[in-house]
Amino acid sequence: MYVSNDPDITLFNAGHPSKKTVTLTFDDGPARVLPELLDILKKEKVPAVFFWQSRLLYPGRPWKRVLEEGHQVGTHSSKHSNYEKLTPNEQVQDLRRSKLKIESITGQDVKLFRPPFGQYNEHTIAAAKELGLSTILWRISSMDWELKEEPEQIITNVLENLEDGAIILLHELTQTAAALPGLIAGIRDKGYEFSLL
């Protein structure tokens, strides 16, 4: 596995010796656009990773489809607090609450964690480790949250920065769903396949 200078932070997937791969990750759901994202991923046969805010996860959300269709679910905290502004104890509590809520609804172990805003300190890393979570950041930001009117730019931002193993930051947003078919096609055109974490 290729990691950043900090061995506890993951920016790249584990890779594959005989093929180039990237990993699509979607933050801040489960949101209303999730079924549309799932439809596109299913049609294109692309697995992805979803980092959910546990406060948004209700039993009625299509979480079952996410798992049945081969995607991974990680936690993105309980309610998107900036962990750098929380005490060490508050960080552990929030992270544990989010992990347990997702596990209680989905019935599956949660092993992946993405800090809200990508903000963390040494206590965040320690809290994640204590709870058996790997801390996942990203190598490529699509900047999709700033591109509501320009979904094409989401594709450009990713394709210009592609490299083997790169974890790509996306969100459960309407413009991201609009860009997703073109994004998948563009990534494939450059010779990459899709991998989970």
The residues binding Zn ion (CB under 5 A) are 27-28
Q: Which is nearer to Zn ion, 52 or 192 (CB)?
A: 52
* Residue 8 annotated among the catalytic residues of the structure: no
Q: What single string gives the DSSP state of each residue in 149-161?
A: T-HHHHHHHHHTT
| Min CB(79)–Zn ion separation in Å | 11
Cβ-Cβ contacts under 8 Å for 22 (sequence gap 6 or more): 13, 140, 162, 164, 165, 166, 167, 168, 187, 192, 193, 194, 195
> Catalytic pick from 71, 76, 94, 171?
171
Q: Which is nearer to Zn ion, 81 or 156 (CB)?
A: 81
* Residue 16 annotated among the catalytic residues of the structure: no
> Catalytic pick from 16, 27, 123, 164?
27
| Min CB(141)–Zn ion separation in Å | 12
Q: Can you tell me whether residue 14 is helix, strand or coil? A: coil
| Min CB(101)–Zn ion separation in Å | 17
Q: Which helix (H) or strand (E) holds 119?
A: none
CA count, 13 A, side-chain hemisphere, 80: 10
Q: Which is nearer to Zn ion, 28 or 144 (CB)?
A: 28
Question: What are the catalytic residues?
Answer: 27, 171
